Amino acid sequence: MGEEDSTKSSTKTKEVTRFWEWAIAAIIFRLVLIYFFPDILSQLASRPEVSTPVTSLRRLAEGYWLKKQASISPYAGSMYHGSPLLLSVLGPLTVRNIDGQPSHILCSLLFVIADLIAALLLRATGQKLQSAYCQSLKALGVEKILGGSEFYASGDISALFYLWNPLTILTCMGSSTSPIENFLVILSIYGACKRLIPLAAVGWVLATHISLYPAVLLIPVILLLGYGPDAPPKKLFLQKISRETAKDSSDSSLQHVKPITGSALPSFSWRPVILFLLWASAWSIYILVLCGISVRQNGGLQEMFKRTYGFILTVEDLSPNIGVLWYFFAEVFDFFRNFFLIVIHMNILFMILPLAIRMKHRPCFLAFVYVAICSMLKTYPSVADSALYLGLFGLFINQLADMHFSFVLFCGYIGVNLLSPVMHNLWIWRGTGNANFYYATAIAYAALQIILVVDSASAMLNHDRRLRKLTTA
């Protein structure tokens, strides 16, 4: 036993060392790109796949110049549509240096730090999820059948996949504020998984304040706080208890069997949820007060809501991106525009409740599904959205091992991300193509995301069915 324990401890030490080696290598790789290839940063900043009207650092620099130098509203001229707090934090880092060039290196360094911290939070979240899930399987008596000792370290895989994902690197290098938003979303999920209520509240409030769409994560966060980390369905625990109780009452020779205690059942707790709502309300009020102070001479909060959330919801900017809405609203008649705006935004809301009812026992996976759905239907998407939900996808590498279309998805993502800049170049610069060329890649990209959501949800439900068969065997 002593030799086995020493072997396991040495193996864990090697895994931790390897993780930090790969993580440090990812950070060094980013720093090399920043310092030795500055032209890449400027080129990526103009790519519609990387930078959007909401997340563009160039637009943020323009808004900061309008506010500080011209002493007018940062929302004048329809350039900047972000948070005034983000403008106050990142604006000074975009001030031009002596040579007249924008000093975006400091912003890039900040985004590198945000990526590293987000990866570490993903790792800690994965470790918590895996530990809680192994305990649930042990309580059901199927841990040895599923090979609990052979589970992949989902936290390490998720963190490294997030750091080395080309989409994450493009986002970090592309003069976009998306790394900050992704970090806040992961912070909220991490805080809810660890039941660090103030941390979960500030992450969710800030992410919603910056981008609006993370507001749908309120349900997964509440379920995480109420039920705890992802676990098998509660029905399996109840069936296990009823069977063992029947055995104990009918056969006195089975007294050595330990029935599942009531503490192992995933029951909902309202106390952390109420505390979260109180903390979220307090943080929301605090942020609104700061925003009101920042824009008190530029139209106040009403102007801020109109230029930020209103800009996101009304799709005022129809410049091309990797989404499917810009082309649709460029072609639709103005008479039907408001109708289709309502329909498209309601599509996200229609999916929230059914998914929450069906997967309430897996709130972290539910958060992944919500993020993926929002990335499909949001008005100004970018590859940063894919980088976020693919990082969350790594947390469930053990449960989703039986996905049917993983190879198709892998090849499809590579193909779409390579074809998108090619089609954009043929349309905009060479003039040998048209908007349909670029829009075709956007449709393919949306189709791949739909397949990913459907296939992953189906694999997770099949995993639950497998657990039910094992517990009844």
Q: What is the pLDDT of residues 329-350, one digit of tens each?
A: 988 888 889 999 999 889 888 8
Q: Which residue has the higher pLDDT, 298 or 381?
A: 381
**What's the confidence (pLDDT) of residue 229?**
87
Give the residue from 135, 130, 121 showing the smallest Cα distance to 152. 130
**What's the confidence (pLDDT) of residue 39?**
78
pLDDT at position 96 over 50 = yes
pLDDT at position 299 over 80 = no
What is the percentage of the chain residues whose pLDDT exceeds 90?
42
Contact indicator for 197, 275 with CB cutoff of 8 Å: yes
**Burial grade of 142 (CB within 10 A; 0-12, 13-18, 19 or more):** buried
Q: Who contacts 87 (Cβ-Cβ below 8 Å, separation ≥6)?
A: 60, 63, 64, 67, 74, 80, 294
How far is Cα 19 from Cα 15, in angstroms, rounded to an integer?
A: 6
Domain boundaries, the chain: 46-239+264-472
- CA distances, 433 to each of 286, 422, 445 (Å): 50, 10, 19
pLDDT at position 471 over 80 = no
**What's the confidence (pLDDT) of residue 14?**
59
Q: What is the mean pLDDT of residues 304-330?
A: 90
Position 259 confidence tier, pLDDT thresholds 50, 70, 90: very low
Q: Which residue has the higher pLDDT, 102 or 420?
A: 420
pLDDT at position 67 over 80 = yes
Q: What is the pLDDT of residues 139-186, one digit of tens each?
A: 777 765 565 545 678 889 999 999 999 999 999 888 889 999 999 999
The reported pTM is 0.90
**What's the confidence (pLDDT) of residue 101?**
47
Q: What is the mean pLDDT of residues 377-392?
A: 93
pLDDT at position 263 over 90 = no
Position 222 confidence tier, pLDDT thresholds 50, 70, 90: very high
How far is Cα 172 from Cα 111, in angstroms, rounded to an integer?
A: 6
Q: Which residue has the higher pLDDT, 353 or 249?
A: 353
